[in-house]
Every structure is written in structure tokens, then in C-alpha cells.
Amino acid sequence: MKIEEYLGTEKIFFASSGSMVIFSVLYPFREKILGIPDQGCFGGIMKIADLLNMKYRFIETDDGIIIPENIKNVDIFFFSSFSGYLVENNVEDICTHCKKNGILSMEDISSGFSYPEFGKGDIIVCSTGTPKILECGWGGFVAYRNIERSGIFDFMRMPEGYMEKLENEVKNSRFKLQRILKYSRILKDFDYDVLFRDHNGVSVFVKTEYAKKILKILNREIKPDTGKSLFTRCPRYDRVLEKGFVIETIKIWKRKEDEIIDIGRKIEKEIKCLNI
């Protein structure tokens, strides 16, 4: 299945990175006011807005979960389908609210491509870097719904082999995402304090006041398949503004289920041993 078929759009446009996609999309709107969530969103969005000299406003959320009624006094609203990779947003309600109030919805589906409830925005952007659901190590794309596209994309060229790699990633995306969601549910089912325990997410947040001390131990015992660490310490704007750490399930999605259970047990053990 092609990307256009997943998203229900006619055509997609490419750029060298997800950040370049977002910059190019926002360029024609630089005189407008941008709304962004107060947490759980792509961390580079503020830098891009500053480069464009574009005014932006924070929209209050519930630990990153977007409350549609709070989206107001902006012209375009940028958000992630999975807030902070941790919890799914009600994308349909967000986009419906934006449409009723004359606000363009700009949805980042990098963390949830192929999730049936996502990809509803007026503008849909996606990174294909690493680690992502569509993992090409480079690039990104945008799809528009009944909106004139940015002319910047006319000058973009993708490297040889990128499209073939992307096609394979798209074919595998549903299986990959479902496995990540399953493994995240498994990692939530241990005796430590988890945020969003009953919600879908591609990562898992563990609440603790002592994340630095715990991660010093866990980083020695548990290695990811990609990157230096399986964990991200919080508070962080692009995850959640709570004290604790995130288990980045996407970095171990190729492993067997019993290995995931073993990782959960190790995390649980270290937290208990530190008597926290």
C-alpha cells in the first residue's frame, strides 16, 4: 500500500529531513500565529518558528494529551499524533475542532504512521529518520488536504535508493507499529509507577524522583539495538514535563517477547532495590 492510500491524499512531497519538511510547510504561513502543545511535541518546532520569525502560543494540555477546546487564538495548530510518543491523541476531535474554528491542523505522524485513527490533519508531516516507524535514516514528507502546497518542495531532490527503502518501510509499518504497541503494553505491566497505563503509546513513561540514579544502573545493564541508551530522562518538552524516564520501545522492537519481559523485570528490580 502506498503512503497516499494510507493517508487518503492525492500526492506527497519530500524533503531532506522532517525538520526541513516542517520549515517548508510553515514558510508560507510565517505571518500567521502558530499554536503548539505545552509538552509532548516535536522539540524543534520552536526553533523553526524562531527561524521564520513566526509568533507561536502554547496550548495547555493534560500531561501532553491535547484538549481540543483549548485550541484557540491561533491560525495553525501543530501537534504529534502520539504525544511525547507516550499516549495517543484523539486526532479526529482535534481536527474537527480546528476545522469548526477556522484553524489549520498540522499533524506529525512520525511516531504513529499506519495507526488507523491518525493522519486526519489538513497537513500531515512525517519524518523518516532514525528511529521512526518509517526508518530510512534520512528524509521526510508532507501530504496536504485541499491546501495549496509550499513551492519550496519543487526544489527538493531525494538520494538514490530512498524511495525503494521507503516503500519497504511502508509495507512493514503496520506490523512494526503493532509490535511496538504490544511491547509497550507489556512494559507497563510491572510494579513501577507508569503514566498512561491504560492508553496506547509507542514509549513508556516511568515516574520517579530518582531517574538519574536509576538510569546510571540500567544503562550499564540494558543496551538498545540503536542509539546509546534505551531510556530518555525527563522532564523534557518532547516527552512529558514530569520527573522520571521514558523507555523507548522502538529501539528494541525487533527482539522476542521474552526479552521484553526480561527488560521489564530488570527495571522493576532496580527500582525496588533502590527502595524508591
Decide yes or no: CATH 1.10.3470 for domain 173-273. Answer: no
H-assigned helices in the chain: 3-7, 18-26, 45-51, 91-100, 162-188, 211-221, 257-273
pLDDT at 100: 98
Q: Which residues of the chain form CATH 3.90.1150? A: 173-273
Q: What's the DSSP call for residue 81?
A: S
* Res. 10 pLDDT band, cuts 50 70 90: confident
Residue percentage of the chain with pLDDT more than 90: 89
What is the average per-residue pLDDT within 192-218? 96
What pLDDT is stored for residue 45 in this prediction? Answer: 98
- What CA–CA distances, in Å, run from 236 to 39, 95, 189? 8, 26, 24
Task: Give me the pLDDT at residue 235, please.
Answer: 98
Q: Given this model, what pLDDT does residue 6 score?
A: 87
Please calculate the CA angle 156-160-161 and round it to the nearest 5 degrees: 120
Q: Give 36-59 pLDDT, tens digit per residue.
A: 999 999 999 999 999 999 999 999
Which pLDDT score is estimated for 273?
Answer: 84
pLDDT band at 15 (very low <50, low <70, confident <90, very high): very high
Q: What is the C-alpha separation between 117 and 104, in angstroms, rounded?
A: 18
Question: What does the DSSP 8-state code read for residue 148?
Answer: P
- What the block records as the C-alpha cell of 265 is 523485570
pLDDT at residue 157 greater than cutoff 90: no
Q: Which of 6-10, 99-103, 179-183, 198-202 has the lowest mean pLDDT?
A: 6-10
What mean pLDDT comes out for the span 171-184? 97
CATH code for 3-166? Answer: 3.40.640.10
Report whether pLDDT(224) > 80: yes
For residue 276, is pLDDT > 60? no
Strands (E), 104-171: 104-108, 123-127, 140-144
Report the pLDDT averaged over residues 46-75: 98
* Start-end of CATH 3.40.640.10 domains in the chain: 3-166
Start-to-end C-alpha separation, the chain: 48
Taking residues 74-97, report their average pLDDT. Answer: 98
Residue 158's pLDDT band, with cuts at 50, 70 and 90, is confident
User: Does residue 180 surpass a pLDDT of 80?
Assistant: yes
Q: Are 49 and 56 in contact (CB under 8 A)?
A: yes
DSSP annotation of 150 reads P
